[in-house]
Structure 1
Amino acid sequence: MAGGLSLRCGDCGAHLKSVEEAQEHAELTSHANFSESAEAVLNLICTTCSKPCRSQTEVDLHTKRTGHADFVDKTLEAAKPIELEAAAKPKDDVVVAAEEGAAAAPSEGGQSEEMVVPEVNKSMLEELESMGFPTARATRALHFSGNSSIEGAINWIAEHEDDPDIDEMPLVPAETKAEANKPSLTPEEMKLKAQELRERARKKKEEEEKRMEREREKERIRIGKELLEAKRIEEDNERKRLLALRKAEKEEEKRAREKIRQKLEEDKAERRRKLGLPPEDPGAAKPSAPPVEEKKSSLPIKPATKAERMRDCLRSLKQHHKDEDAKVKRAFQTLLTYVGNVARSPDEEKFRKIRLTNPSFQERVGNLRGGIEFLEICGFEKLEGDEFLFLPRDKVDISVLNIAGSELNSAIANPFFGVL
């Protein structure tokens, strides 16, 4: 059935325009004493920003905050009756209990519960009695209309005048009466209650943020572990790839040695055939050479030639950097450039003078073992506190430079140079 135009909280006096607002108010404040009101909720609309205000206090606050002072009253346009059938069910239960004449109802523990007459607004009760309504009817009307107004009580009487118990005094449990008589909150208490609710909501929000932060931290740790594991797997795969590459290079080198050995054997067999000698029996064991007694020779030992010394320098450079083929090849080509420039233009001093501290020279030749020694064999000398390598014009030996160029070309072109 159609009810009033609004609901009013009996605990704090809040004015609510729908059952949904009353439910939300009950969840926030734990208030449960609501009554129907024929007074519509105030609806004042700001003409500047269209903000709705439900009380004069809200109007004053809005004006103070924004400076807007013009409002249009649309209370009657927005007002509509509230359906209270679902909310009226607890009251119907009380009516049924009163119709059955139960002055006392059994409690959960099996004991009888005391039933008493509910307290109503005395001034409104006297006014209804002065209008000619019996005390029981007026009390019942005020109680079930929520003690809201005289109009609400009269409307309730008009709707229930055919009820058989209309003139019977209503009865409610004593606890219900005590709750009904509970004094409403003062403005200070309402302010404290609202502050408590805000504090509770703030703590709940902080707890939720902490929980979310813990979840995010767990996710970061998980992602970090996955990245570390992926990096470890990638490093393992790279290590395995390098090992496989090194193994393949060794196999290739082994096959190259075997190919050279077979070529030497073929050449040897060909020479024996040309000389008319029988083929060498591979099964025949070669006689071991008798131990040669070491004798001190009084003859002078022939010193190694410059070509041999150059070859030893280049071989040492290759062996000490055997895993850096590109760097070795670049060093050989740089040395060939130095030697070739001097051989082509021996009178040009710029080709015969090299600064040892030059970064490019150090990177290409100076930092590699055997590089500077090779240039010294070619005739270069260290000058000015080992700051320069210099080849004097009168010490330029074209034949030595040609030997150096030949050794460098051989080292660059022979892939097995320094390996066998």
Structure 2
Amino acid sequence: MAGFSLKCGDCGTLLKSVEEAQEHAELTKHANFVESTEAVLNLVCADCGKPCRSKTESDLHTKRTGHTEFVDKTSEAAKPISLEAPKPKDDVEMEEAGGGSSTQQEGEMVVPEVNPQLLVELEEMGFPKERSTRALHFSGNENLEAAVSWIVEHENDPDIDQMPLVPVSSKKPEAPKKALTPEEIKQKQHEVSVISLHNAVEMLMNERIRIGKELLEAKRIEEDNERKRIMALRKAEKEEEKRAREKIRQKLEEDKAERRRKLGLPPEEPAAAKPSPPPVEEKKSSLPIRPATKAEQMRECLRTLKQNNKEDEAKVKTAFNTLLTFAKNVATNPNEEKFRKIRLTNANFQDRVGKLKGGVEFLELCGFEKIEGGEFLYLPREKVDMPVLHSAGSELNSAINNPFFGVL
């Protein structure tokens, strides 16, 4: 299959003709070219009709004008590249000569000749060949800056992307090519690379924006889950308070009936008594916050301590705070033996915790063991269980702050 483009083996640039390959070689010093079946793109903007020869050029056009619809006419414009040597100009003129050729050329319109080196540089910057030719022709065909300025000023012209035509008689003689210095070549290559650098920076910024949005979404989901967990905990606390009020109401009813019996009054008629609401089934929380079995045993110890000393609220609160201090010291400093060893015969300990039923049992649930004939409570370092200590702290905080704790 015939090639539809020439591909530079050094930089991968696709070129539409042998002339473009020669100009590319003169500018970049690349000499490795092969035929390619991949045609140079011909993407025509559906809004303004501007042709674009590459995806990069179409992206730049979209960014400048906002036009996003392009029609691919590559297959219509693609023609195989002929690698045969062109015929001499004299032979072409003799073939075309045939009676009255001079009168035929008088009204003929041709494409004006422009500096091929400047034309290649404009095309490498992303401008189509027609626009580059028109800019060089009307800007005096002198330098690259004047051509670029002309394109910017006439960007909205309706014929900006049409190849300019001039009469044969007004065709200017070919201007001598001006050799570029190495510094100028580097400068031109830098200008061409600016577009690619800009596209790379834009892609990087878009990727950062996408990652930022994903992080915000993950944070929002985490906050929603935390909010649901807190709502479930509050709901469980309200249900516990409700059950506590019901217990208190039933206790008041029993005390009232006992007082009537002691006073010799007849019991209230069953019809007059208010029907008790159906018992509320206790709902267990589905949140795996702490070990359920040991937490229930700790709560039962604290309830027993409060029930047996309900006439002395200060003593109960002192016991709870003392137990909380023991658990907090061990959890904060697990390597300190002085926080893991308690003398049972200590007068202060006995007055605050030891004499109260449920206090020593609570410490044993935290991991303390009786040693030396029951004189000390000791928690070995290897048996320090942080989840159990945290659970103990939660139960003690609930017992201290919840006024209904222990009435169930």
TM-score, normalized by the shorter chain, greater than 0.5:
no
TM-score range, shorter chain: 0.3 to 0.5
Q: Structure 1 length normalisation: TM-score?
A: 0.35
Larger radius of gyration: 1
